[in-house]
């Protein structure tokens, strides 16, 4: 494993030393297309992301070309100029520039990952050679995540058998929704929802989206070995659909399914994700009955917003919540029978407590979360911001704007609200196994622990939900629905469940 990590040092430094990381445009112009092609093919205009690389060479190219662009050189013709991977400026017919980019190696495995690198959109990868070199060397020498990759399952989950039953008839009200009534699970969010690095055994694998392990959208392993919301719900409804499986990007349907989360996303990106999600729902009428089926939409967002707030103070917590609200409203306008579960903002100041004793994490976080590493931005300021973002999220639920019909509501799950300490061992040291190798994203163990607390929150009445957890300790045994109110809890059924009670199926 040490040899592997040293090899990753070389790979990381190699890619960091090429213009591919920050040498490409922040976004494509309207007259440019993007895509991947094989090095053996002619350059074509491409408007979808596909990879036709030679698996033996593991070589793809991404091309930015205008509609009228004539063929431009192949990667093989540019090796001397771009050193196997990187971007090169090429002239369009009108004289302006677009970029020709190619990659070789690990970063080509996932086309969307490389596209994000090439387009430099919210990328979690340092642009400082020394930073990433120090980080990687330290990981190689001092850490060995592959030997410490842990997980948490719930092999003996049981409740009163009647609580596993669906309703006697399909509920007409979202406030009468039993866990077994949910037919589809969906998700919006950022890299934590995409589960970047959840199964990573080395630093470079942070780029991979382990969607099948995501706490609110993954279906890998089964509940016995890995706790996620879908894995729990499958115990109530074995025909549950929409959860992610395996590793891949949001545009790979057999992996992502109804998890539309995009790594690097901020709240303003959720509306685009919502549109993508609606398109996916409408594209599979043979699986999804839009009108009749009940759907759970999990949302978790905010880390990237908070990480860059010190540079963009105009992006207020209210703006943050309004942008989430826009996405939710789009879902409400286009998708009937949805209960939205919004996981409240995580306290980012706890990351600083990890940095105190983890030198390599501190080095990486300089680029991964700028405000967290900005010494002029105090922990008190970060905490105040996160509290304000949590309060703004709560107003989405309490405002009543999403409670105007019986088939839709929003519930905020606040278990992160007062959780400001990282997971620790009994001796006070930080339990790094909760995190991926970048000490920022959750490991598969972290996802499982978070899922156990989210499930508990979902079954707790509004106003009495847990608002503080120990991050390193799972909520076990897993919660069961309340026998007197066996529904996913909402504002209305928390106030008076008797009004919404319906019998279970025989």
Asked if 178 and 487 count as a contact pair (C-beta separation under 8 A), the reply is yes
How many CB atoms are located within 10 Å of the residue 359 CB?
13
Residue among 68, 19, 26 at smallest CA distance from 43: 68
Rounded Cα distance, 400 and 71, in Å: 56
Of 184, 347, 441, 453, the catalytic one is: 441
Residue among 143, 120, 121 at smallest CA distance from 8: 143
Rounded Cα distance, 315 and 304, in Å: 12
Active site residue 191: yes
Active site residue 34: no
70 Cβ contact list (under 8 Å, min separation 6): 93
Of 181, 190, 220, 305, the catalytic one is: 305
Asked if 484 and 498 count as a contact pair (C-beta separation under 8 A), the reply is no
Residue among 277, 253, 254, 283 at smallest CA distance from 265: 277
How many CB atoms are located within 10 Å of the residue 502 CB?
18
3-state secondary structure 28-40: CCCCEECCEECCC
In angstroms, the first-to-last Cα distance of the chain is 54
Rounded Cα distance, 81 and 99, in Å: 13
Rounded Cα distance, 22 and 353, in Å: 29
Helix (H, G, I), strand (E, B) or coil at 89: strand
How many CB atoms are located within 10 Å of the residue 362 CB?
20
> 282-293: buried (b, 16+ CB within 10 Å) or exposed (e) per residue?
eeeeeebebeeb
Instruction: Specify the DSSP class assigned to residue 122.
Output: S
Residue among 99, 130, 105 at smallest CA distance from 23: 99
Of 65, 191, 205, 256, the catalytic one is: 191
For the four alpha carbons of 370, 376, 378 and 384, in that order, the dihedral sign comes to: negative
| Residue in the block written with tokens 């998708």 | 335
Instruction: Specify the DSSP class assigned to residue 176.
Output: G
Token pair in block for residue 54: 């030679």
Rounded Cα distance, 110 and 260, in Å: 16
Active site residue 447: no
For the four alpha carbons of 353, 358, 359 and 361, in that order, the dihedral sign comes to: negative
Q: Which residues face 142 on adjacent strands?
A: none
Residues in the chain: 506
Catalytic residues: 191, 305, 441
């Amino acid at each position: 494993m040490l040899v592997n990590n040293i090899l990753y040092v070389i790979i990381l430094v190699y890619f960091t030393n090429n213009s591919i990381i920050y040498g490409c445009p922040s976004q494509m112009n309207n007259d440019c297309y993007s895509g991947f092609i094989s090095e053996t093919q002619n350059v074509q205009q491409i408007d979808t992301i596909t990879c036709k690389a030679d698996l033996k060479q593991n070589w793809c190219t991404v091309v930015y070309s205008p509609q009228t662009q004539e063929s431009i050189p192949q990667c093989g013709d540019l090796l001397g100029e771009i050193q196997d991977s990187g971007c090169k400026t090429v002239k369009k017919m009108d004289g302006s520039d677009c970029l020709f980019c190619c990659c070789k190696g690990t970063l080509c495995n996932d086309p969307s990952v490389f596209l994000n690198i090439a387009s430099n959109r919210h990328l979690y990868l340092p642009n400082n050679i020394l930073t990433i070199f120090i980080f990687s060397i330290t990981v190689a020498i001092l850490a060995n995540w592959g030997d410490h990759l842990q997980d948490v399952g719930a092999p003996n989950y049981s409740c009163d058998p009647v609580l596993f039953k669906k309703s006697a008839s399909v509920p007409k009200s979202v406030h009468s929704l039993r866990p077994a009534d949910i037919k589809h699970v969906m998700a919006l969010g950022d890299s934590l929802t995409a589960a970047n690095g959840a199964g990573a055994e080395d630093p470079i694998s942070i780029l991979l989206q382990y969607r099948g392990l995501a706490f609110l959208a993954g279906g890998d392993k089964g509940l016995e070995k890995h706790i996620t919301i879908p894995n729990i719900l499958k115990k109530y409804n074995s025909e549950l659909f929409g959860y992610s499986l395996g590793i891949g990007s949001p545009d790979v349907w057999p992996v992502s399914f109804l998890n539309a989360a995009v790594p690097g996303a901020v709240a303003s990106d959720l509306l685009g994700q919502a549109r993508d999600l609606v398109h996916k729902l409408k594209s599979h009428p043979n699986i999804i009955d839009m009108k009749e089926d009940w759907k759970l939409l999990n949302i978790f967002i905010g880390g990237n917003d908070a990480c860059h707030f010190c540079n963009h103070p105009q992006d207020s917590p209210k703006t943050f919540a309004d942008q989430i609200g826009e996405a939710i409203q789009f879902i409400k306008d286009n998708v009937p029978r949805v209960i939205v579960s919004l996981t409240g903002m995580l306290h980012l100041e706890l990351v600083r407590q990890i940095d105190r004793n983890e030198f390599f994490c501190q080095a990486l976080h300089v680029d991964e979360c700028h405000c967290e590493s900005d010494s002029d931005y105090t922990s008190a300021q970060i905490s105040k911001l996160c509290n304000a973002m949590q309060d703004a999220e709560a107003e989405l639920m309490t405002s009543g704007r999403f409670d105007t019909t019986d088939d839709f509501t929003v519930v905020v799950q606040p278990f992160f609200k007062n959780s400001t300490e990282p997971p620790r061992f009994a001796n006070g040291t930080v339990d790094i196994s909760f995190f991926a190798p970048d000490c920022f994203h959750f490991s598969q163990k972290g996802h499982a622990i978070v899922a156990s607390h989210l499930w508990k929150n979902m079954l707790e009445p509004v106003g009495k939900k847990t608002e503080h957890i120990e991050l390193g300790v799972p909520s076990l045994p897993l919660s069961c629905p309340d026998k007197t109110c066996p529904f996913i809890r909402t504002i209305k059924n928390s106030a008076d469940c008797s009004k919404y009670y319906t019998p279970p199926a025989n």
